[in-house]
Amino acid sequence: MTIFNLSAFISDLSFEETIYRTESYEAYFHIHNSRLYVDARYSLEEYEINDDGSLELISYYFKDLHDKIAGASIVLGDTLIFIDYYWTDGTLNGSAGGDIVHTIKSMDISVSPMQLINAFEFAYNEYLCAFEANDDYLFLKFTESASNFNSVVLDRRTLEIVTEIETGYYFSVRDNLLFVNIVNWDLQTSYDNIYDISNIHDPQLISVLTYDNTWINGNFITNDKRIFNDNLMFVLHEQYLVNVVDLSDIYNPAIISTIDDFEIQNALFTNLVFWNDYIIITNWHNNMWVYDISDIYNPEFVNYLPVFKPTNSKGTIIVNNDDLYYANGESNMIHYDLNMLPEFYKVGEYGVGGVIHTNLTDFCYPYLIFAAIDRLMYFDVRNDSEVHLLYSNELGYSSITHSDSLIFANIRTEEGSSLLLYYFDDYGIEFIDTVDPGFTFMSQVYWQDPYLIIRPSNINNYYIYSVQEDYSLSLVHTLPTTTGSFFVQRTQNSYDDYLFIARLLDSYYQVNIYHNEPPFEQYSVFSFQDFPPNTLPILYSYDRFILVRNHQSHVDFNLYSYQFPNIIEDHLHYEMADFGLYRVIPEGIFCSYPFTGVSGFYELTDNDIILRYLYDFPTDAHNIAVVEEEQTIYVAGSSGIFRYSYQPVSVEDIYEPIPQQITLYQNYPNPFNPDTVIEYHIDTPGNVCLEVFNIAGRKVATLEDGYREAGQHLVKWDGKNEKGVRMGSGVYLYRLSFDNRSETRKMILLK
């Protein structure tokens, strides 16, 4: 496997296929026309519900790069509407001074794959806490402030804001009725004002429903949720009780029964569903209660089941004909046959809803090996994209390494860890045995030909083994080390005849170099002074060393000249204030920005680190593997493994000097508020594109896009995005593209 020069082709990537999709998480679930729809963090997913009740993924829609923080979703007829939000400063909490922008999209789910109908964005600096809808409008209640008890009303079809109406904090909508909960603190009671909202601009109060049992032990309990079924309304009050309300006469609603015999009161109720003469109630701790409501005036408790272990992630319960699906944001989906009620009969458990991320673990050509926490899998990059299971282990994996023919997988066990050994060749991968090196806990395993090196997690030594003909391990040597030491990460263009081990000392790392042959004598030692323990040294090439330092909000790269075995000088420092996950490859630094699909490639020259490309992936990419033989790049992220193709570029094309045709100048003023001027020069006339990106690499605005004459040009940016929303304080990138060339600079907006 050869790593290719990314700077030569990264802007010309073409998406080819999805190799593997991880299960969804932080998800909302809906069933429509016997299909399951999952509103997950990174995508909308469509599953076929088979005759046996099992699930088959048939399509998915990747959300926009910024739609990363899930809000809520709802199904109305053949339309699924979801709302997510993002921060304009590219963070997950606005810590850099950004504002919240909410994104609403409607999807046509009458067709497969589902199709986007409409989309709308608006800035509203509060979090969504309630989402209701009827045939005409969407009702969005945001986090409570001291004086705002209104909800924003949007047109269901255009998704544009229509008005705001007073809904209080707890409310529900059914058809043209609005139920608004009001608390009377003096009388220690609460009531629902019921409005006719046929005219959304002039709601009319038509009746009042009073709750007399909403005070327990001197504390008010809220009515968090209302569930409607024909002329009945079930009102869920925290974890304590459920009121059954008759709405057959909407002008005189009446409570006809109360369910309050819940022996387990450990978490808020989350949902209630109906099946024949039964109701099933769930709570945040993933418990289910079944009540017989054949006599609606006297509901009878008949069963209780703790579905999952208690978590802080509420479950979703769905009924489809005679099947019940219970999904939890931190576990799988369980399928029950309702025909067996009041008993719970489990039909199956499916991989939907689990917190499962992919990780490109190793690449032993032609096999790409990756883990999804509880599974170790691989596929052959030469001729198919079918994923094969190597091993299933619910406790996960620590590390994987390989030789020319052997794969070593360090797995976690109840007792500690174990080492699996596989043989591979052009015809496939075969399990050989479980190898016992004699350690209870192994933190890392490394292969440096011809030895396997193991670092136990509770012993400050590296143990060097040879692999015998019967695949057993024979201890060859022991290298002492210190707490926090590690094998130095290396690119391919570095030394193979030496072992590099970084030892953590009091305030810096010391790199020890050993001969990679018995008796493994120390060859040299040098220290990176003035760098704290969160520094990572990487052997970049024969003549250079990279020192990476992680901060809370950014990453520093220091580039050192290196003449084996001594450091000559520190001649370059580069601060990547965008805070990214990084991978150093022979041609430069691949950087991925968390929770977006945006990545950057930084080329390393003799005296500089240059941002060459920003490019988009349908996931928060955190690892890559490039195969020159197949003209393919594989990208791994939280939502799966994806394959891209590229056109090969000759070495002559890569390094042939290109005449300078564009010049992008530093904006002025900089920092700026509220606007700034960007100046550029092109030598010849042609099509120009000038774009602004935020620090996460997400495009904010397009300032120029079209034909321009040769010469000097001035462009003004008013600090707003393409929706007219003013951006928050922070660092922004502006990129000029012209005639297959591009230049990028940074600018700072201050408020």
* pLDDT band, very low/low/confident/very high, at 330 (cuts 50, 70, 90): very low
Domain termination residue (choose one: 623, 655, 687): 655
CA distance 349 to 325: 9
Angle at 725 between CA 721 and CA 726, to 5 degrees: 85
Least confident of 360-364, 368-372, 510-514: 360-364
Residue 615 is predicted with a pLDDT of 56
pLDDT above 80 for 433: yes
Higher pLDDT, 372 or 61: 61
Per-residue pLDDT, averaged over 156-162, amounts to: 89
> The domain spanning residue 567 has which CATH number?
2.130.10.10
CA distance 84 to 61: 14
The β-bridge relationship of strands 535-541 and 375-380 is unpaired
In a domain, 177, yes or no: no
Beta-sheet strands, E only, within 293-441? 300-306, 315-320, 323-328, 333-337, 345-350, 359-364, 367-371, 375-380, 388-392, 397-402, 406-412, 417-425, 428-435
- The three-state (H, E, C) secondary structure of 712-743, written as one string: EEEEEECCECCCCCECCCEEEEEEEEECCEEE
Higher pLDDT, 632 or 259: 259
Per-residue pLDDT, averaged over 476-498, amounts to: 71
52's CB contacts (< 8 A; 6+ apart) are 347, 348
Residue 194 is predicted with a pLDDT of 95
Mean pLDDT is highest, among 198-207, 403-412, 613-622, 719-728, for 198-207
Span 671-707, pLDDT tens digits: 788 889 998 988 888 889 999 987 656 788 999 999 9
Span 527-558, pLDDT tens digits: 666 555 556 666 655 566 666 655 544 555 56
* pLDDT band, very low/low/confident/very high, at 253 (cuts 50, 70, 90): very high
458 and 574 housed in the same domain: yes
Range of the domain at 722: 662-749
Pair 2, 629: CB distance under 8 Å: yes
675 and 724 housed in the same domain: yes
pLDDT above 80 for 266: no
What phi and psi, each to the nearest 5 degrees, are found at residue 19?
A: -80, -40
In a domain, 345, yes or no: no
Q: Which amino acid is at 306?
A: P
What phi and psi, each to the nearest 5 degrees, are found at residue 653?
A: -65, -35
Which residue, 638, 576, 549, 182, is CA-closest to 370? 638
422's CB contacts (< 8 A; 6+ apart) are 390, 406, 407, 408, 409, 429, 430, 431, 432
312's CB contacts (< 8 A; 6+ apart) are 284
CA distance 464 to 454: 7
In a domain, 220, yes or no: no
Domain termination residue (choose one: 120, 149, 169): 169
620's CB contacts (< 8 A; 6+ apart) are 42, 68, 592, 593, 594, 595, 596, 597, 637, 638, 639
Average pLDDT, the chain: 75
Pair 85, 102: CB distance under 8 Å: yes
Residue 395 is predicted with a pLDDT of 61
Give the predicted TM-score (pTM) of the model.
0.60
Element (H, E) at 651: helix 651-655
How many CA within 13 A on the CB side of residue 542? 3
230's CB contacts (< 8 A; 6+ apart) are none
In a domain, 700, yes or no: yes
Which residues is 702 bridged to in the sheet?
A: 691
587 and 470 housed in the same domain: yes
428's CB contacts (< 8 A; 6+ apart) are none
For residue 533, whether the previous peptide bond is cis, meaning omega lies within 30 degrees of 0, is: no
> Widest CA span of the chain, in angstroms?
92
* pLDDT band, very low/low/confident/very high, at 175 (cuts 50, 70, 90): very high
Angle at 162 between CA 159 and CA 164, to 5 degrees: 120
618 and 703 housed in the same domain: no
* pLDDT band, very low/low/confident/very high, at 495 (cuts 50, 70, 90): low
CA quadruple 678, 680, 686, 690: dihedral, nearest 10: -30
Structure tokens at 473: 């391990």
Higher pLDDT, 207 or 369: 207
Residue 269 is predicted with a pLDDT of 85
Structure tokens at 110: 């009458």
Domain termination residue (choose one: 614, 630, 655): 655
522 and 392 housed in the same domain: yes
469 and 504 housed in the same domain: yes
* pLDDT band, very low/low/confident/very high, at 245 (cuts 50, 70, 90): very high
Residue 57 is predicted with a pLDDT of 74
Higher pLDDT, 582 or 468: 468
Structural domain tally of the chain? 3
What is the residue whose two structure tokens read 């030491």? 485
CA distance 218 to 230: 34
Per-residue pLDDT, averaged over 67-77, amounts to: 73
In a domain, 475, yes or no: yes
Residue 407 is predicted with a pLDDT of 87
In a domain, 643, yes or no: yes
650 and 666 housed in the same domain: no
499 and 557 housed in the same domain: yes
Least confident of 38-42, 579-583, 696-700: 579-583
Beta-sheet strands, E only, within 250-337? 254-259, 269-275, 278-283, 287-292, 300-306, 315-320, 323-328, 333-337
* Count of Cβ atoms closer than 10 Å to residue 632 Cβ: 18
96 and 132 housed in the same domain: yes
446 and 585 housed in the same domain: yes
Pair 299, 293: CB distance under 8 Å: yes
Least confident of 157-161, 214-218, 258-262, 595-599: 595-599
> The domain spanning residue 74 has which CATH number?
2.40.128.630
635 and 734 housed in the same domain: no
Per-residue pLDDT, averaged over 20-33, amounts to: 67
Per-residue pLDDT, averaged over 622-639, amounts to: 66
pLDDT above 80 for 112: yes
Higher pLDDT, 354 or 231: 231
In a domain, 414, yes or no: yes
Higher pLDDT, 534 or 477: 477
Residue 38 is predicted with a pLDDT of 80
In a domain, 562, yes or no: yes
> 573-576 contacts: CB < 8 A, separation 24 or more?
574/602, 574/609, 576/602
> The domain spanning residue 691 has which CATH number?
2.60.40.4070
Residue 380 is predicted with a pLDDT of 79
419 and 567 housed in the same domain: yes
